[in-house]
Amino acid sequence: MAHQLVIVESPAKAKTIQKYLGDDFQVLASYGHVRDLQPKEGAVDTEHDFAMRYTPIERNERHVDAIAKALRGADKLWLATDPDREGEAISWHLVELLRERQLLGDKPTQRVVFHEITKKAVQEAIAHPREIAMDLVNAQQARRALDYLVGFNLSPLLWRKVRPGLSAGRVQSAALRLICERENEIEAFVSREYWTIASRLQHAGSAFTGRLTHWQNKKLEQFDIADGDQAQAIRSGMEDDLGRQALRVREVERKSRQRQPAAPFTTSTLQQEASRKLGFNASRTMRVAQQLYEGINIGNETVGLISYMRTDAVNLAEEAIASIRTFIDGYYGSEFVPETPRRYKTKTKNAQEAHEAIRPTDIARTPESLQGVLERDLWRLYDLVWKRSIACQMAPARLDLVAVDMDAGTHWTLRANGSTVTFPGFMAVYQEGKDDGDEDESNRILPPLDVGDEPLVLGIDPEQHFTEPPPRYSDATLVKTLEAHGIGRPSTYASIIQTLQNREYVAVEQRRFHPTDLGRVVGRFLINHFERYVDYGFTASMEDELDAVSRGEKQWQPVLSAFWSPFRALLDEKANVSRAEATSEALEEACPQCGKPLFLRLGRHGRFVACSGYPECNYTRPVDGPREPAEPVGRDCPDCGKPLVYKTGRYGRFISCSGYPECKHIEPLTQPKSSGVTCPQCGEGELVEKRSRYGKVFYSCNTYPKCTYAVWGPPVARPCPRCGWPIMIEKSGKRLGEQLACPQSECAFHFPANASDAEIAALLPGYSPPPPREKRAPPAKKAAPARKTTAKTAKKPATEATAVAAQKTAKAKTTSAAAKKPAASKARGPSAGEGKTSPSRKRAAKGASDS
């Protein structure tokens, strides 16, 4: 039996570390957090020095029980959770739980951290244990308390003032503000026209381009050529000059430049680069990086392939630098190794320098050696980390930059820029990706040109441009901006972005974040009423305070007290804000019906424009302008005789009566596809293909609602060999393949689609139909509301309440049984689900209602 117990966070890491430590150790996983604040009011007691009330996390209790059981037979406890504040807090919470169970006693308990999961690193960590760092624990407790106080007090206010079920967080609200403000900039942006003129040139067999930089001996600014007429006039003047004199090189400027490699990855730069180069969002990047850190089976061993992936430090261990330089010397050559090792200093405030940057645990383990061994995502991210780590210790790239000025002896100048790489250096391995607007114009290759050369002019091309608004945030640019403002920590960026998406505050379209109508209303409410607490500077200053707590420079209770007092006062003040004020935004536009101001309001299906005089004036219209008149279909309604028109609902376009809501006649835009099979229930209609509201195909009678027969599978006009039902349906599955089945649930006879009559006859004697489905009893918790109601009103005897519940259950059973009875012909669909044609009908009806 193992005498020493090691606790890590994940089972994958536990499995890897167990192999390194041997049989004297037992390694178990806590599966993340083991305790959290009680999910109710008062979990942080603001009246008693912010005392925090914790409760075990239910889903992880069995893992804590397993740890407790193993600890009874162990002599020592090692806490090896992740090397960050959160990991430190998990270790502390676990110790507190075990202490409550009186399992620790005199057993030694020590903390170790693994910055990488390799045999050497694990054994070195075990040889250098320490105590739990309470400063880190307190910083994490303070962060959790802050998030609780903001979320638990601000979210209910949003429920009352905007919409139930919303949430607001200390950090996510600042991120939402960034996205909403960028959208406001885009909407307010006024595009402006401008023109550029470029000349297509050729020299020594190579084509290149020269752009017009000076006209009438004046340097051209962006908007100096404002329209096409001016551009054509300039083009004509240049052509006239070139007709009199050839274009000649007047000046050639050459200079050398060095390009330095980027620092090794931190959490944020890894997320940015994975977004640019691999198309990963932040959550996906962290999920894959976690797997690479915890350990991967690479054939001959299970090993962690990268160092710890939650870090904001850019420094590397001296041993890692030495191994990288040795590898570069042997693999690329001595000229690629700089004279002195590169040592990077982080520019991020409060970076945790105790951590290393993200790097491979063994630089000799090249991506090529792991190709085909790792899954695709794992390999691509490892390849990125490996190349960045190699490049950061390589020699700089050397480039020759060339700028050539040309003219025809007149008042205008063409300039051509280019560059030549004379020594690739780190660029032989890796080049950092670029964000929007970071293009480098000098990355062109020019032919050899000297003063006096006369390049051939192939043409002069004016080109129209329009200024563009700032681009919406991508994963990479949002993480970069959050880091620049000091909002959040490296480990929180992925969860911030995911929370905004889960709450439907933002939507991702073409890998860009667009604020939803709900997100914009929430963002506006927070900015208008809690501006200080969603301010970028305030959020960053709170991070500074938490960092000071983690360094032992401040106590966490005074930090919370300084935050809570003004926040509580503001909450009380804003409790009187009306819902209309919270969800409405005044527009500089008058109502066309009554002349009162128009407001932008939030409805069930998004924002819309409405009159402030409601309910006296019921004018409304979409945000993007007045509604266009409904397009006529060209025929009349069969029910009331009024013209039919095309409308658009939440499920798309459909045909509706123009007399709505007095007449509710609706039709689908396209006629359902016929199966050619007569309905077996009514014998009059045909079974046609339809789709449910969730997109699933089913087949129903086209005389609906007169006949409600429907089946899920494609119908076949072939009677069932067993019960004689007029049709069969096609089914397919991995186990049985293509089958024909009877749609009657009491028969359900099935056989291979290509079976012969003899094979079918052989199946019949041994076939037994499935037993009828038993109706499930209602869950016990359904009775809870009745008990709660009787407690608040008159206290009925328990027997009476039971009798009432029994009557309701009996009534429900009777209703359900009646609903399942067959039609007059006693024909029955395969199941309650298969007898529904209503989804498409309901969808069209909802469309009519929404429009």
- What's the CA gap between 715 and 76, in Å, rounded? 68
pLDDT above 70: residue 780: no
Which of 830, 723, 714, 731 is closest to 773 using CA atoms? 830
Predicted pLDDT of residue 779: 55
**Superfamily covering domain 142-189+475-580:** Topoisomerase I, domain 2 (1.10.460.10)
The string of pLDDT tens digits covering residues 461-472 is 999 999 999 999
Q: How many helices (H) and strands (E) are present in the chain, helices listed first?
A: 22, 35
Which of 370, 300, 366 is closest to 330 using CA atoms? 366
Are 738 and 708 in contact by the 8 Å Cβ rule? The answer is no
- What's the CA gap between 429 and 395, in Å, rounded? 11
Place 775 in a pLDDT band, splitting at 50, 70 and 90. low
Q: Which residues contact 114 (CB under 8 A, 6 or more apart)?
A: 17, 80, 83, 121, 122, 125, 308
Predicted pLDDT of residue 310: 85
Place 824 in a pLDDT band, splitting at 50, 70 and 90. very low
- What's the CA gap between 745 and 298, in Å, rounded? 51
534-548, 565-579, 814-828: the lowest-pLDDT one? 814-828
Range 217-235 average pLDDT = 94
Domain made up of 4-132: CATH architecture = 3-Layer(aba) Sandwich (3.40)
- What's the CA gap between 145 and 43, in Å, rounded? 9
- What's the CA gap between 114 and 303, in Å, rounded? 13
| 3-class SS letters over 348-401 | CCCCCCCCCCECECCCCCCHHHHCCCCCHHHHHHHHHHHHHHHHCCCCCEEEEE
Query: The whole model's pTM is what?
Result: 0.67
Q: Give just the sign of the alpha carbon dihedral 672, 673, 676, 680.
A: negative
Predicted pLDDT of residue 504: 86
Domain spans of the chain?
Answer: 4-132, 142-189+475-580, 193-260+398-466, 267-395, 584-621
Q: What residues does 249 pair with on adjacent strands?
A: 406
Which of 167, 425, 435, 394 is closest to 277 using CA atoms? 435
Catalytic residue set: 308
- What's the CA gap between 138 and 143, in Å, rounded? 9
Range 118-144 average pLDDT = 89
Domain made up of 193-260+398-466: CATH architecture = Distorted Sandwich (2.70)
- What's the CA gap between 490 and 423, in Å, rounded? 35
What is the topology classification, in CATH, of domain 267-395?
Topoisomerase I; domain 4 (1.10.290)
Question: Of the segments 309-323, 580-594, 595-609, which one has the largest average pLDDT value?
Answer: 309-323
For residue 5, CA distances in Å to 78, 104, 120, 490 come to 6, 12, 19, 30
Predicted pLDDT of residue 651: 66
